[in-house]
Structure formats: C-alpha cells, structure tokens
Structure 1
Amino acid sequence: MIIGIDVREGVKTIRAGKGEYVYQVVGGLIKATQHQFVLLTDQPLPSAWQQDNVIVKKGPTNSLIWQLWAWLYIEFTRSLDVYFSPTSLIVPALLRSVPVVTALMDFVSFLFPSTHNLKSVWLERMWMRPALINSRRLIAISESTKQDAIKLFKINPQKIIVTLLAASFVDEDEPYPLPPGPIILFVGTLEPRKNLAILVKAFEGLKPELPAAKLVMVGRWGWQREELQQTIGQSPYRRDIHILTDVKPAQKRSIYKQAQVFVFPSLYEGFGLPPLEAMSLGVPVVASKVASLPEVVGAAGILVNPYAENELYEAMKGILTDRNLAEKYAQAGRHRATQFTWDKTVQHTLAILEEIGK
C-alpha cells in the first residue's frame, strides 16, 4: 500500500500540539509497517524518517501555493492508495481520485473565532465542510472534537474515529534554571484562547499570601498579543511574571520539573497536550473544565470554570499550600498519563489508513 501524508507541521523544529501529533504519528507509522510512504513537505525531513519505505516530495514554502502543488501532484502524477491529511483542509476538499483520511484538531474557528487568527478563520470556514464531506474517514483527537464535528456539521458519528494523543519529550535533557520560589507554570501559545489574562489576575490575588511565588509562561506569542502584554505590564507583580519564548524542546522537561503547579485555563482545546505532559512528570495540574480537557485530566487534576478567577485562585492556592493535596494530584497525574501512549495512536491510525486504502 502507498500512503501519502502531509507532514509539514511535523518537520518544524519547534512544534506546537499539531506539530507534535504529526511528528509522533508519522514517525510511528514508518516504523510500524513496511507500507510505502510518500511524505509531502516544504522542509527537509527528520533523519529518523529517511527510510527505505519513504519517498520525499518537497513543494513550495508558501502555504497556499503548496496546497495547489500537492493537489495537482496527488491528483495527476502519483498513484496513492490513500492520502492522510493531519492538519490541512484544502487538499482533502479538492481530491477526487484518491480516498482521503483527515484528522480533526479542533473547531476554534467556528466556536471561538474572535480568539483566532483571521486568515485561519476565513480558510477553515471556506474549506472545512467540503473536506469533511469528501473524506472517507475522519480522525478526531478527542471525543469532544468528535462531538463538535457532529453538532456543527451533522457528520455521521460512524465516520469519525477518536484517537487520543500522548505526552512525549525529546531524548536530550538540557537544564533551564527558573527563578527561585514556588513556580506556577503555563505552557502553550500565548494567545487569547488560552485565557492567560485571568491567570495573571489570579496570580495577583495569590501574591500577598505567597510573596515568593513566580508565574512562568512558556510559549511563542500568537494572535492578538496586545491585551495580555498590557495586562502583564500593568500588574504590580510584573517583575515576577516571566515570559519564556526561547525554550528549546530539550529544555521543556527541566522547566516542567521545577514547577509546583501547572495551570491551563484555556477556553477551548481540541485535546490539550501540555496538561498531559505536566501530569506525566508528576506536576499537579489545574485546568479548565471545558471542551476536551476533562477527557485529558479526568480526576487526576483540579478542573475549574475558566471564567471564574476565584476558582482558579483557590485551586492554585490549594496546591501550593497543602503538601498532601499536591502529592495526591502528582501521583494521580502520573498514573493517568500512562493511559495515553503514542503506540496506541499510531496503531489506531494505521488501522484506519489500511481500511480506507485497501
């Protein structure tokens, strides 16, 4: 069987959730089977992917031009048995000669458009429906994402298969010293959907009781950064709020391990890898009780209303001041994280691709 895959997100040096999904699944698929893979990219591949059963096709770096190039290549010049699109909608919407499997990451463009990049909202609203209709099978990264697809687009539930994600870190472990004091940690893109202004406000409420506490946010600046920057700039505790945009993958483990509590007040997630990463390392987690996050965290962390600053404050205070409570959630998180593995994700994905491509 010849399987074509759009791997652009997975070849990036610094990967967010989507990129990590592509990197782990594609690498696992290559190792798990002797099927031939045609990997469509816009950058060089990781060395681990350069195997005898892999053919590389590199297209333009401009995203929209790449979509046209990939569609023409698959449709007219290469015989594939199945095409897997982990993060893009345009090619799945256009293809006719090859069966398509499309992964569904989230529906933020439809549910929280004001917190998302305008270009992404426009493109997803144009291409999502035809991509969903044209795909033979859809892979949702959470039950919440599956239910969103059903509610928004009336998709047949039997067409959508849920394959959960997992936590992982690179083999290298490079130290990244954080300032002294109890560390409240966030990891993710610094954008409105992550609801970080309320985290800053809850942190301000905590400081009089825990004056040594530090708030550390790790991630790249995203869309509409001005509000968060203004909130931090006006905070009386701004000197204790640290924004780290230069963290390398090898340094993530070190940063997580220095945290006393991991806080993820996001308004919406398709899955939510950072809380799972924190749990896997025994860091107590406080997260929103919305969208997919209850699926990920379960009873192994404290779930709060993301719009309720006081709930966030109380949850953080509880973890930081009650050693027994912190240890309870540290142990529960470690145990829950073992239930999520990339091997499961890869095997479920491979079964779907083999079914559609046979």
Structure 2
Amino acid sequence: MKIWIDGYEANVPQRLGSSQIGFEILKGLEQLDRKNDYTILLPSAPMNDLPNERGGWKYKVLRPKRLWTRIALPLALFTARGKPDLLFSPTHYIPRFSPVKRVVTIFDLSYLHFPEMYKKDDLFKLTNWTKYSVSNAVHIVTISNSSKQDLMKYYSVKKEKITVAYPGYDKNIFRPLKDRERILEVIEKYGIHGRYIIYIGTIQPRKNLVRLIEAFQKLEGIKLVIVGKTSGQGRQGWMFESTLKAPKKFGVEDRVIFTGFAPTEDLPYLLNGAEAFILPALYEGFGITAVEAMACGTPAIVSNVSSMPEAVGSAGLLINPQSVTQIEQAIRAISGDCKLRAKKSAESIKQAEKFSWGKMTKTVLRVFESVAGQ
C-alpha cells in the first residue's frame, strides 16, 4: 500500500497540540510499519528530528508553501506517476481536489462552541475547511469520544466513519523524578520559589486563564506558574492580552509567574516541583498536558466539560470552568491536604499508563488498512 502523509504541521519547531500529534504519528509509523510505502509531503526540508529516509520511507518537498492545501497538495496528487492508495492529513484540512482517498484528523470543534475566541481569519478557515474535510474524507480520526460525539451531532457524521485514537506522551521524559536538587535548579531558573500550581499550554481565551488568575485573589501562600509562549519565533497563543493584564487587574502580580516558552526537557522538572497541574479550559479536544502531568505523579485539576474527564478519569479533580469559586476550592483542597495529594498522585500515574503514542499509531494504521480495503 502506498500512503502519502501531509507532514506540514509536523515539520515545525516547538511543537504543541496538533503539530506534536502529527510528529508523533510520523515517528510511530516509521518505527511500526515496514510493510507499506510512505511518502511524507513537506513544504521544506525535513527537520533533524524527523525519521531518516529509508526504503519505504521518503520525503517530498512541495511548492508553493503559502497555498499548500489549495495548490501544492492537489497538484502533487494529480501529477504523480504512481498514485498513492490514500492521503492522510493529521490536521483538519484535506485538499479540495484529489484523485485518491483521503483520511483526515479532526481534533475538536471548539470553534463551533466558542467562535468569539478565534481570530476572524482562523475562524473562517476552520469553519469552511473542516466542514469540507468531514464531508469528503473517507474516514475521520479524532482524539476523544467527546470530539466523536460532536462530529456526529454538528456534522451528522455516521459513527462508523469515525475512529477515536487517544494521544500519548513520552514515557522517557514525563515520569516521577527523585532528584530534588535538579528540580529546584530548574524551577529557580524560571524565578519560581516556594509552593506553586502549574498550567502548561497555549495562552488563548479558550484556556480560561483569566478566571484561574482571579481565583488566586483568595489563595495565599501558593503561586500560579503559567508556561506558554506569547512572543518570538515558533508557535504561540493568541488574543492573550487580557490574560497578561489579569494579575494586575486582580491584584495578584506577586503570585502569578509567566515563564514564557519552556523547552520539553524542563517540563518534567516543573511538573514534579508543582503541587498540582491545572487545566481550567472551556473546551479541549483531549488534554495531553494533563496526561503528561499525571505521568509525573502530579495531581491534575481539570474542567468537567468536553474530553477532559476522559483524559484524567477518576484520578483527576473536576471543576466547573465557569466558576471561579470551584477553581479556588479545588486548588485549596489539593494544596492543603498532603494525604489527598499523595492519593491522587498514585492514581494519576496509573491513569496516565492507559495512554501511549504506540497505541495511537496502531489505531491510525488500522484505519489505513481498512480504508485501502474498501
């Protein structure tokens, strides 16, 4: 079977969310599958950490980069001498014209739930391209049962056309650490001293960080550390001005630390040093960062909406993301009770073990084989 994969999202630095998932799927398929023939389509030369070329695994650079989905992908498909059996897009977008079967990944439909939290151009693109992709792909991969239910509800997709493939995490990186000196060394590098709760992710309205910061008005003796990019090269958040202004608005500047971007190698130390991880988002496709935190033995406080209860199971503390009081009470409960923290830490490690990139890759490969046989 000849499989072409849109590698645009995976071929970026400082991967987050969809780009991280795309990268892990590529890495997993190269390791797992030596039977099929893969061509990875890229807008530029492959980054150094992508798998090396070999027999059955090669890269093809296409132009133009700016009109990738509209021109570069369909042009490559129509002019190919040996056409692939299918094209896989690990993003919401598939080319509108294609002589081959297309499989697409739809992460979530947050833009339908909270359109006001997206830039106009991004909202237009997501709304129109996702609708087309859902209608014209032969199969859809999504990352939670919550997203599957949304696809069935809002786009009337039959359940047989959707496969859930839960994301994983790097088990060599995210794990309990015993080197307290190294943990202190890393957290002090970011100006963190004393007890803290941590959030890791993009800084954008949907993450509900303004309410989280407001909750710290009544929390003494503990700080909030927000790890996320707001400037410089690489992927960053959007519409984050209100979040950056919130500590001053609520009078908690001394209790909120914005670290900016933190490299992956620092994250397990930041997580191991925290009393809890918090994700008070209004909507999530899955919540990889919550699983990474739990893998470190750090209890997770997450919203009781969309996919987040799926990610944390009974190990997590669930909150109503619209309630500042519930956010504050959950932080107070976990930070003020050593026994509860130890109990949730042990449960979190077990819950995280349910997820792996290997499982996700095997699920995606089964989809390819099923589609090719249709």
Contact 1:37 1:55 in 2 (8 A): yes
Gaps of 5+ in 2: 231-236
Q: Hey, what's the Cα distance between the residues in 2 that align with 1:194 and 1:350?
A: 32
Q: Secondary structure at the match of 1:10?
A: coil
Deviation, 1:344, is: 0.9
Q: 1:193 aligns with which of 203, 206, 217?
A: 206
State the AA in 1 paired with 2:228: G
Structure 2 equivalent of residue 184 of structure 1: 197
Q: Alpha-carbon deviation of 1:326?
A: 0.5
Q: Counterparts of 1:61 and 1:268 in 2: how far apart (Å)?
A: 34
Per-residue CA deviations over 1:27-70 (Å, capped at 9, x if unaligned) read: 11111112111111123324451131222112347443454111
CA distance in 2 between partners of 1:62 and 1:33 (Å): 28
Cα deviations by residue, 1:163-182 (Å, 9 ceiling, x for unpaired): 11112267699963242211
Alignment pair present for 1:104 and 2:142: no
Q: 1:63 to 1:142 in 2, by over 3 A?
A: farther
| 1:302-321 paired onto structure 2 within 5 Å | 302-321=317-336
Q: Which amino acid aligns with 2:187?
A: P
Match of 1:13 in 2: 13
| AA partner of residue 320 (structure 2) | N
Using the TM superposition, name which of 141-150 and 167-176 deviates more: 167-176
Q: Which residue of 1 aligns with 2:27?
A: 27
**Aligned letter for 2:62?**
G
Distance (whole Å) between structure 2 residues aligned to residue 168 and residue 25 of structure 1: 13
Question: Is 1:117 matched with 2:132?
Answer: no
1:248 is displaced (CA, Å) by 1.1
Distance in 1, matches of 2:122 and 2:370, equals 31
2:293, 2:300 within 8 Å by CA — same for their partners in 1?
Answer: yes
> What's the offset of the Cα at 1:136?
0.8
Distance 1:48 1:231 in 2: 39
User: Which of 68, 72, 77 in structure 2 is aligned with 1:74?
Assistant: 77
Supply the AA of the counterpart residue of 2:103.
V
* Distance of 2:102 and 2:301 partners within structure 1: 38
- Correspondent of 2:267 among 252, 269, 288: 252
Q: Distance in 1 between matches of 2:85 and 2:146?
A: 30
- The DSSP-based 3-state class of the residue aligned with 1:9 is coil
Structure 2: distance between partners of 1:238 and 1:22: 37
**Amino acid across the alignment from 2:12:** K
1:202 aligns with one of 209, 212, 215 = 215
- Which blocks of at least 5 consecutive residues in structure 1 are unaligned? none
Could you say which residue in structure 1 is the equivalent of 2:339?
324
In the superposition, the TM-score normalised over structure 1's length comes to: 0.93
TM-score (norm 2): 0.89
- Matched residue of 2:334: which SS? helix
Check conservation: 1:169, 1:250, Cα contact below 8 A: no
Compared CA separation, residues 113 and 64, structure 1 to 2 (3 A): farther
* Aligned 8 A contact 1:11 1:23 in 2: yes
Q: Residue 37 of structure 1 aligns with which residue?
A: 38
Identity %: 27
1:65–1:167 CA distance, 2 compared to 1 (3 A): closer
Contact 1:25-1:345 within 8 A present in 2 as well:
yes
Correspondence for 2:360 among 333, 336, 345: 345
Amino acid at match of 1:42: P
Residue 283 of structure 2: aligned partner: 268
How many Å apart are 1:117 and its aligned residue?
Answer: 2.7
Q: 1:61 to 1:264 in 2, by over 3 A?
A: farther
Matched with 1:95 is: 97
Q: Tell me the number of residue pairs that the alignment of Structure 1 and Structure 2 aligns.
A: 352
